[in-house]
A and B are shown apart, each in its own frame.
Chain A
Amino acid sequence: MLTVVTFLPLLVCAVLLLLPRTLPERAYVWVWITTAAVDLALVVGVWTGYDTDGGMQYEQRVRWIPSAGVGYHVGVDGLSLPLVALTCLLFLAVAVHSLRETRRVRSYVCLFLFLQTVSIGLFVALDLILFFVFFDLSIVGMFFVIAGWGHGERARAAALKFFLYTFVGSLALLLGFIGLYLAADPHTFDIVDLTRANPLAGRGLYAGLVLLAIGVGLAVKTPTVPFHTWLPPAHTDAPATGSAILAGVLLKMGTYGFVRIAMPLLPGSWRHYALVIVIVGAVSVVYGALVALAQTDFKRMIAYTSVNHMGYVVLAVGAAGTLAGSDAQARTLAVTGAVTQMVSHGLITAALFLLAGVLYDRGRTYTMDSYSGLAAHAPRFAAVTAVAAFASLGIPGFSGFIAEFQIFTGSLASHAIATAIAVTGILITAALFLTALRRMFLGTPRLPETIPTGIVRDLRKAEALSTVPLLAVALVIGIAPRWLLDVIEPASRTLTGLVAR
């Protein structure tokens, strides 16, 4: 079942490539939308059949390269299922948003279908090498999206920077994986087997180095301070849809790696270095928020808030590794909050990036000072953006609040100071979003010189259909989160148990 969910987009991509080029461009996008919808429906099917207390489910294990200890092993649990669903939803939204794409549509659609397979594959992978394959391919796919459909010559430089940075990270990750593989007896890359064996228990420095390699690899992808410098240019110069997938799905690969690999496979070192991780998280929160506050470019600002939001996740997973001063319930709460935050950030930031794309489509610039009083010209656009901004700053009623509330509650007991510092992040984010909204949407109407007619078209149907549902899901999670938390919580409890052993 998971194999079908994972490889359906790739299959469609292959079929599209084999078909003659004479198909109208719209047809490609409609095929994509259909595929994404079918995939989402399949995931909803998986979710309905998922037993919340059943641990790893829908498992499938096939021998692949047994001599090298590599197998094809997939499955979902409460940590990965929400992210798989998020991935499918975001790709559907992006597909709908792409209805107006005119540049090389065939390659564009194929590339995104490929990326969807890669992203889902990463979240269901239960083998380190399978995980790595998808991790690396996500970089390759996103490189071509940014270089091919980004904003001009700068996009190519940004794509190169993105590729080099994240590739460094992925190779560090590979070294860490090899370290785990060699420590296990018999040698294996299987995540489930390695979790059971806990091969690096009591291996001191060696385990620390493996955690360092894996931690750096994932931290680059997440990204946390000080490995975040690739993120702002990549986001600024990527097309809106690319940014939405990059922020909504690809960044989650880093944080998902922490909860799927680093924590359960290296529990001893994770506990030992938890304080470092908490500090990195807290610094990312505050630094990301402060730098975002200083931005004049709307899209760059959202990019930096991603650093801020991912910082909360890192803080939470660090706190989940601190046994002193906390009980199992608090740590479980922190992990649940971290996973909820991944979902929430995916929904809200993807919507924000798609809206930034609308802004660029109208005015050909992201500079906030160029716009003023937009609400008068485009009331629907202003309203949706305002809702997304409020959701992003963590106002109660949206998913961000649920996530951050759990993170802070779970972390407060063991890391009171770090948590207190991180809370100021919310304050700064609120300030920056409110400032941005005031600058762009309120005040006397003024438009950039790129719009000589003085008319700004309001949100189109496809643009509304791709953003409003994302925010609606965030709202549903914010008001009635049990359906999501019931899935995440048992898995968090298991994970906390694994870390504490």
Chain B
Amino acid sequence: MNENLAALIPEIALLGAAVIGLLAGSWLPRRRQWLVAVLAAAACATGLTATAVTMVTDREQTVFAAAFAVDAATDTGRLIVLVALLLIICMSVETVRRHKREAEYWVLLLMTGAGTLALTGANDLLMLFAAYLLASVPAYALAGFAKDAPGTEAALKYYLMGALLGITMLAGTALLYGAGHATHYSELAKTLPSAPYGLVAVGLVGVLAGLLFKIGAVPAHFWVPDVTDGAPAPVAAYVTTLPKVGGLIAGYRLLQQALADSDVNWPLLLAILAAVTMTLGNLAAFFQTSVKRLLAYSTISQVGYLLMALAVTTRSGTVQRSLLLYLAAYAVTNLGAFAVVATLPRARALTDYRGLARRRPDLAAVLVVCLLGLVGTPPTGVFLGKLEIFSATIDGGYTWLAALAVANTVASLFYYLRWLGPLFLTTGTAPTDTQTGPRRWSAATAHLAGTLSLTLGIAGQAVLTIAEGPLLP
């Protein structure tokens, strides 16, 4: 049995840093707690280096009874997660600086990050559920980090839904185990086709329910707007970005590795879920006045587009690279928009952004790039991702879904423009935000994320190249 711990350096680095950070944070004085943030960033950098080495030296393998696969999808997922985590750490600096629980914040972030990494590589139902818990539980605490009324409500809602759907997921796992007599994907792939149809179908729906909760898709999306609105901006950025990366890669691996030959019609189920998710997310976003709620619903609709890739997992050859490219582009673009929100903590409503182009042209430019990017305007990364996913969907025989996605894209333009429009107003400019200081770190994160979003559009070939490669059994 392969028990090569070196294959798990990124996960171990994050968890190790979390433990050290927790211990160190207990003794460090409040003004020195930023050291834990440095530690967290160092852990991410270690993970990135280890992943790069794995990719360059072709050390793709499965470890621990093949419960964890380190292949092209995991590697790309790790890169996306770690870069996104670095961006989130940078944009959090001002929000938690000198906070009395600063060290705890970084520790929780590291742990949920490690859980997300585990989701991308999970090759076994039990591993998947363990990763689900590791990714979710610290996130509940993060949602309530501010300990104010909206934050507490958000955390409670998040926790209750997570607990309910976690149990559903566990029940689904049990049913699939009962049907296929195994929890490992490659064995399930052999046994499930001959298992009772109803058992497999119900079990799969149960497992998918947990994943749908993680990625915030309909019908498990109710927590998304409340958590996004109630939690501090960097946490909101986290819960709308990273769990989607982990959950979607995990879902892709599950469907591709365990259910490819099953006669359960899950492609149709996912296609319908995708259609409903993107449509409901868009409709709900239409008349939002709070920027964070608007972004929350926009992330729900984005999940709808991403689910299209899962629907055609086994029907098109380009799903893996299109899913990973879209995830990478979505992550940096969404984080860019949230970084702008984090830089302007007092601007909560769309009208507070009036005249931003004059006061902060740099932030306005980032918003233009990121919001038009989320629409899918070239040459941003999300455009390329959409192009790839639409192509894969049509290739997989779901032309109606692609057409619906196009219609939704047009509809989404409306509310993004509702936000962009006031930026360029010259009359009735909102008052300048002077009380919170310049917030250099968040602003720098916004610039970086906006640049990355554009770079991914122009040099998207890089992601497509590394995302290519078979899943390991």
- Which residues of A pack against B, CB within 8 Å? 64-68, 129, 132-133, 136-137, 140, 144, 147-148, 156, 160, 163-164, 167-168, 171-172, 174-175, 178-179, 181-182
Contact = CB atoms under 8 A, between A and B. Distances in A.
Contacts of A178: 387, 390-391, 394, 402
B468 interface: yes
Majority-rule SS of A interface residues: helix
Contacts of A132: 378
Interface string B371-388: 010000111000110011
A178 B379 CA distance: 17
Contacts of B394: 175, 178-179, 182
A497 to B, nearest CB: 30
Contact of A64 (B387, B461, B465): B461
Interface string B450-461: 000000000011
B403 interface: yes
Nearest to A69: B391
Interface in B389-406: 390-391, 394-395, 402-403, 406
A66 B464 CA distance: 9
B424 A65 contact: no
B414 interface: yes
7 contacts: A64-B461, A133-B383, A137-B379, A147-B421, A168-B410, A171-B409, A175-B402
A6 B138 CA distance: 51
A471 B281 CA distance: 51
Nearest to A148: B424
A179 B378 CA distance: 19
Nearest to A179: B394
B405 to A, nearest CB: 9
Given A65-B384, A67-B461, A171-B409, 18 more contacts: A66-B461, A67-B468, A68-B391, A68-B461, A68-B464, A129-B387, A133-B383, A140-B377, A147-B421, A148-B424, A160-B414, A160-B417, A160-B421, A163-B417, A164-B413, A171-B406, A178-B391, A182-B391
A182 B321 CA distance: 16
Contacts of B384: 65, 68
A140 B372 contact: yes
Given A68-B384, A140-B372, A182-B395, A172 B378 contact: no
A261 B377 CA distance: 21
Interface string B308-333: 00000000000001000000000000
Given A140-B377, A156-B421, A164-B414, A174 B390 contact: yes
Interface in B407-421: 409-410, 413-414, 417, 421
A234 to B, nearest CB: 15
Contacts of B468: 67
B464 A65 contact: yes
Nearest to B408: A171
B161 to A, nearest CB: 34
Interface string B427-470: 00000000000000000000000000000000011001100100
A481 B169 CA distance: 74
Given A132-B378, A137-B377, A178-B391, A171 B410 contact: yes
Given A147-B421, A174-B406, A136 B413 contact: no
Contacts of B464: 65, 67-68
A137 B378 contact: yes
A132 B390 CA distance: 15
Contact of B387 (A140, A172, A174): A174
Nearest to A134: B378
Contact of A67 (B395, B409, B414, B465): B465
A164 B418 CA distance: 12
B398 to A, nearest CB: 12
B417 A136 contact: no
A135 to B, nearest CB: 9
A181 B409 CA distance: 21
Contacts of B378: 129, 132-133, 136-137
Contacts of A133: 378-379, 383
B387 A163 contact: no
B390 A144 contact: no
Interface-centre pick from B372, B391, B394, B402 (highest chain A CB count, 10 A): B391
The listed residue with most A CB atoms (<10 A of its CB), out of B394, B410, B424, B464, is B410
A181 B391 contact: yes
A163 B372 CA distance: 12
